[in-house]
Structure 1
Amino acid sequence: MKKLKNIFIPILAALLLVLVSSCSEDDEKFIVSDTEPVVLGDLTITDIVLDPVNTNNPAVTFNWTEADYGQQVPVTYQIEVASDEMFSNSATAATVNSGNTVTLSASEVNVAAGNVGLPPFAWNMLYARVTSSVGTENGLPVASNSISFNVFPYFNYTFKDYYLVGNGVAPGWSNDNNNPPLFRDGNNPNIYYYTGYFTNSDGDFGNGRFKILETRGSWQPQWGVSDDEGDDVLKTSGSIAGNPETQDGDPGRFGVAADGYYQFSINFSSKTYTMAAYDASGATDFTSIEIQGSAATTTAMTQSTFDSHIWYLSSVRLTQGDLQFKTNSGSVWGGTTEFSGQATANGGNIPVIVEDDYEVWFNDLDGRYILIPLNL
């Protein structure tokens, strides 16, 4: 009998543990229930002009009823805005982890309006709703009613600009020496290009090198290869790293093995890059290029002394309108995307959507251009 008792006691204990655990899981599953949608209150004002000077001033306050999921659970509220009543193009303007009210600043509303595609300096309808959910996984989400109001946004330049630095490129290891920018893709703001001349006259391991800066005159943030400096052997592709984006220390260096033209591309979404030789032997050597169009007074661009295919204007006033690049041969290059893109001969008009002083760069090898506002 003692033998049987020793066998059955552990079995009964295990069965009891399974039963208690099963009951506990079922209790949690059935106690939490769907809430009725919270009710988002109407605003006291329906026309909101967003102040571009006092951007931290309050612009709008949202109030809503509290969600009830049947028990005391952590509830998250997301304030969602959209450009249409169906919320087919929406963005999260704020997240609230306690309470049922939030006040957004002019800057926060302006960013949200820009994220859903509302143009600046024009009255447009903005829709808002609140979605409640449970826990860190946003379980049992339920959307409220939607309300609408008119906003007059100011311009919000949301793009990042990146600049070359290193002994393989024009400015050398100076972080504030008219460092050429990378050319941002006109349709994907995470992808950048630079097709041009790179130098490494003696093939030394430490020469022909470069990195990417986010701000001229500052060494951080900076981007390079994921290998540590010293182990950063030359590669045609690989992963990138950034200080402080991905790590505390500085990343390794990109580079080329010999003088010549190369095509460099970098994707800040996938954190990858490519570097390939580029055949520039058939490229036209223009002697002058100027900007023209309704957005600008016709102005001659400066040709880079390091790379004859790179042209720039350090500062030029552009107004709302269109822009083209005209070469000494009479060809006119244009594109269709604002701020950056790829121009082609007779390719249309580059839209300038907001007046400001701009830095303008054009690459006649691949037609890429970038217009960087200086005051926005």
Structure 2
Amino acid sequence: MKKISILIQMFCALLVISSCTDDNANFKVADTTPVVLSNLEITDIELDQVNPNNPAITLNWSSANYGQQTAVFYNVQVSKDAAFTTPVSVTTVNTNSATLSINQLNSAVGSAGLPPFQWNAAYARVVTTIGTTGSLPVASNTITFNVYPYFNYPFKDFYLVGNATEPGWNNNNNNPPLFRDGSNPNLYRYAGYFSTGEFKVLEVKGLWQPQWGTNSGTGINVNPGGGSDPGTFPNNNSAIAAAGYYTFTINYSTNAFTFVPLSTTGAVNYSSMTIQGSASATTAMTQSTFDNHIWHTNTLHLTPGDLKFVTNTSSVWGGSTSFSGTATLNGSNIPVIVEDDYDVWFNDLTGHYILIPLNL
């Protein structure tokens, strides 16, 4: 019986191997010749941010042929150079055409590195693949067109309100913003002086909703509008017992927050702060009377270039990320990538800065 069992197992193994060999012999694919991407009828495309869902362009191309009946996918890519050094994938379809909305095209060329509010040359191609793993990619010819993109401000800004903060329970009193992390757009901090009392976080100055607080003392809760307002920080309607310096951190990706004491030992008290650089004329900042480590200037017109913060002691604070980040002494100049009016805030305790555009 044991010999019969072994023979049966050997026969089954040979049958499986034979089946696999036959399948490989019958299913052979070859690289397709590149599909032909048609030129656009209009080569100057000005993108209108008023109607972002309207169609911007329609791309058409020929069919791929891999020599087998198989699922073929077409990935539309754009780039700022003809070599597609850093291509941006816009959409993937299984048809011979794709219509890109104004918002899609604007986001794609922005991600490709084309600056807003000026004419730029953009390049497009279609990369053909088969299967769900993107096998046997073959790129089409490249077409070029001129595009005038607008700027999509991709971030949210948040503001303090409450009797533990400088503006009190006034939702439109030059409320200080939370400082957004330069590399994690969901992480915000405010390191500064809090008086005894409570506070909440608002998403829009002048509006009570969306309003953020806590009902548990550890997680964050929101009333987006029309619902019940959450409890206050730091611990669901439990006031700050002792006035002083604290660091408030809130992470919108994990819905968690912390509120911990902050040591100010060794902190320098500056008497003046100016904004300098190619993005703006030298501009004096206003020092908070509530917390002398917080500085701001409102409605400052900035143009593409850079800026830095210069103290009365001639020390210079700079950072490497646009819109928000952490400056360091003698750091690189902060890049300004788009022209607009900005509210600019700087915290000399931590080096946190934020540039909030008012019209984007």
Q: Please confirm whether the aligned pair reaches a TM-score higher than 0.5, indicating the same fold.
A: yes
The corresponding residue for 1:16 is none
Change (3 A) 1:92 1:240: farther
Q: Distance in 2 between matches of 1:339 and 1:349?
A: 12
What is the CA distance between 1:278 and its match in structure 2?
A: 0.5
Change (3 A) 1:248 1:290: same
Q: Does 1:173 align with 2:157?
A: no
The corresponding residue for 1:62 is 59
2:331 counterpart SS class: coil
Q: CA RMSD in A?
A: 3.8
The corresponding residue for 1:253 is 232
Pick aligned residue for 2:329 from 331, 340, 345 = 345
The corresponding residue for 2:212 is 223
Q: Does 1:271 align with 2:255?
A: yes
What is the CA distance between 1:261 and its match in structure 2?
A: 0.7
**Amino acid in the other structure paired with 1:216:** K
Q: Which runs of 5+ in 1 are unaligned?
A: 1-32, 201-206
Change (3 A) 1:80 1:258: farther
What is the CA distance between 1:95 and its match in structure 2?
A: 6.5
1:107 counterpart SS class: helix
Change (3 A) 1:156 1:330: same
Q: Distance in 2 between matches of 1:129 and 1:106?
A: 19
Change (3 A) 1:254 1:117: farther
What is the CA distance between 1:363 and its match in structure 2?
A: 0.6
What is the CA distance between 1:267 and its match in structure 2?
A: 2.4
Pick aligned residue for 2:155 from 153, 159, 162 = 159
What is the CA distance between 1:51 and its match in structure 2?
A: 2.9
The corresponding residue for 2:298 is 314
Q: Distance in 1 between matches of 2:335 and 2:353?
A: 12
**Amino acid in the other structure paired with 1:340:** S
2:267 counterpart SS class: coil
The corresponding residue for 2:20 is none
Normalising by the residue count of structure 2, what TM-score does the alignment of the two structures yield? Answer: 0.74
1:254 counterpart SS class: coil
Q: Which moved more, 1:325-334 or 1:152-161?
A: 152-161
Q: Is the 8 A contact 1:50 1:106 kept in 2?
A: no
Q: Which runs of 5+ in 2 are unaligned?
A: 1-27, 235-239
The corresponding residue for 2:5 is none
1:108 counterpart SS class: helix
The corresponding residue for 1:127 is 124
Q: Is the 8 A contact 1:261 1:280 kept in 2?
A: yes
Q: Is the 8 A contact 2:49 2:102 kept in 1?
A: no
What is the CA distance between 1:198 and its match in structure 2?
A: 1.3
1:239 counterpart SS class: coil
The corresponding residue for 1:184 is 180
**Amino acid in the other structure paired with 2:115:** P
What is the CA distance between 1:210 and its match in structure 2?
A: 2.2
Q: Distance in 1 between matches of 2:56 and 2:30?
A: 30
* Count of matched residue positions in the alignment of Structure 1 and Structure 2: 325
Pick aligned residue for 2:289 from 294, 305, 326 = 305
1:275 counterpart SS class: strand
Change (3 A) 1:140 1:150: closer
Pick aligned residue for 1:209 from 163, 176, 199 = 199
Q: Distance in 2 between matches of 1:161 and 1:328?
A: 29
Change (3 A) 1:216 1:54: closer
Q: Distance in 2 between matches of 1:195 and 1:281?
A: 14
